[in-house]
């Protein structure tokens, strides 16, 4: 093969893409390649011609190998340049914002309520959610078969005598038994359970219990404490009234209402046209409860109160259905 034919290969290599390059290499340098065959044919030549042709072919082989290598390099580099251009990252672009959460409205209200009482000198006390009948009912002056038990339809656990607490009041008993005969001023926030499920009652909800036991604690202390609490929460102008009520663990018992926040006490659906919203239950601790707590009812008196956090949250934010508070729906939660 003449010099210019090898020259044509060199030029073809310079134009080839990766696949063509491999085809050319095989065609020239492969086991049956043109140059390989030509080198093999040298042995048939007379010595003089063999040397001359041999040198020429070896130079050509080196040249082709070198061109193949440099073309491969060029192709690899341009592929890299192209990839870099395609995958270029602009570090000056603003980042994806990270969505920050915030506390749930129930948690915010609970925090608010707790901090109002803590500012008045109350300590936070906690109790178990799985209770026994004695702490949940008996010690709170609900004897077995007492009709007041019907107000708190409970979830009982299969294993002997345990139930999910129906209110935070059993923490009163636990706190008293831990402090008697000393003075006591606690609030107990926590989750409670009842067999209820409708627009205003969930089967799991939250309460805050309050309890003060000391020498000479009276209804006046109770009223002043709760009035301070309500005004801290809803503002100093809100109307308040105490209404006689019944709870087994207090005597006398009362319920606290606030003037309807929605209609300015003119009467609306939210206050059932009464102008008043019921906020909490309270009273002076029944002597039997003081006894169960380890105190001498002749020596000390106490007041107690209990409120529902869901109910207060619904009033505070004007939420019509308690179930929305439990669904974890972001469209709802992001409004707070």
Q: Which residues bind ligand DAH (CB under 6 A)?
A: 167, 169, 209, 247, 250, 281-283, 304-306
Nearer to ligand DAH, 35 or 208 (CB): 208
Which residues are CB-neighbours of 94 under 8 A, at least 6 positions away?
Answer: none
Nearer to ligand DAH, 27 or 251 (CB): 251
Number of H helices, E strands in the chain: 11, 9
Nearer to ligand DAH, 12 or 106 (CB): 106
Q: Minimum distance from CB of 231 to ligand DAH (Å)?
A: 20
Nearer to ligand DAH, 9 or 193 (CB): 193
Q: Minimum distance from CB of 154 to ligand DAH (Å)?
A: 11
Q: Minimum distance from CB of 172 to ligand DAH (Å)?
A: 7
Q: Where are the alpha helices (DSSP H) in the chain?
A: 3-15, 18-29, 34-41, 47-86, 105-119, 133-136, 170-179, 219-234, 287-292, 309-317, 330-333
Q: Minimum distance from CB of 304 to ligand DAH (Å)?
A: 4
Q: Which tokens hold the place of 144?
A: 């077995």
Q: Give the DSSP letter string of 3-18.
A: HHHHHHHHHHHHH--H
What residue is closest to ligand DAH based on CB?
306
Considering just the CA atoms, what is the radius of gyration of the chain in Å?
Answer: 44
| Contact between residue 193 and residue 207 where contact means Cβ atoms under 8 Å apart | no
Nearer to ligand DAH, 234 or 305 (CB): 305
Q: Minimum distance from CB of 247 to ligand DAH (Å)?
A: 4
């Amino acid at each position: 093969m003449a010099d210019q034919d090898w020259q044509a290969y060199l030029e073809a290599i310079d134009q080839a893409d990766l696949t063509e390059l491999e085809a050319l290499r095989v065609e020239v340098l492969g086991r049956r390649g043109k140059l390989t065959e030509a080198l093999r044919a040298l042995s048939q030549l007379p010595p003089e011609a063999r040397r001359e042709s041999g040198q020429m072919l070896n130079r050509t082989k080196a040249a082709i190998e070198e061109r193949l290598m440099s073309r491969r390099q060029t192709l690899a580099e341009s592929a890299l340049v192209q990839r870099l251009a395609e995958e270029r990252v602009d570090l000056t672009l603003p980042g994806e914002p990270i969505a920050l959460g915030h506390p749930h409205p129930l948690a915010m209200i609970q925090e608010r309520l707790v901090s109002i009482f803590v500012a008045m000198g109350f300590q936070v006390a906690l109790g178990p959610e799985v209770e026994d009948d004695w702490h949940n009912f008996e010690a709170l002056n609900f004897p077995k078969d007492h009709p007041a038990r019907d107000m708190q339809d409970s979830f009982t656990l299969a294993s002997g005598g345990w139930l999910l607490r129906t209110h935070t009041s059993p923490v009163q008993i636990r706190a008293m038994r831990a402090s008697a005969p000393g003075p006591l001023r606690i609030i107990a926030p926590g989750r409670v359970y009842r067999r209820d499920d409708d627009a205003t009652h969930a089967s799991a909800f939250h309460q805050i219990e309050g309890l003060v036991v000391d020498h000479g604690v009276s209804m006046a202390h109770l009223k002043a404490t709760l009035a301070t609490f309500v005004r801290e929460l809803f503002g100093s102008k809100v109307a308040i009234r105490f209404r006689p009520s019944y709870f087994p663990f207090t005597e006398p018992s009362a319920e606290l209402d606030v003037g309807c926040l929605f209609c300015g006490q003119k009467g609306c659906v939210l206050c059932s046209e009464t102008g008043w919203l019921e906020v909490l239950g309270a009273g002076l601790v029944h002597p039997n409860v003081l006894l169960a707590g380890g105190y001498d009812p002749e020596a000390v008196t106490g007041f107690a109160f209990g409120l529902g956090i869901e109910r207060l949250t619904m009033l505070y934010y004007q939420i019509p259905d308690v179930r929305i508070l439990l669904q974890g729906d972001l469209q709802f939660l992001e409004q707070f």
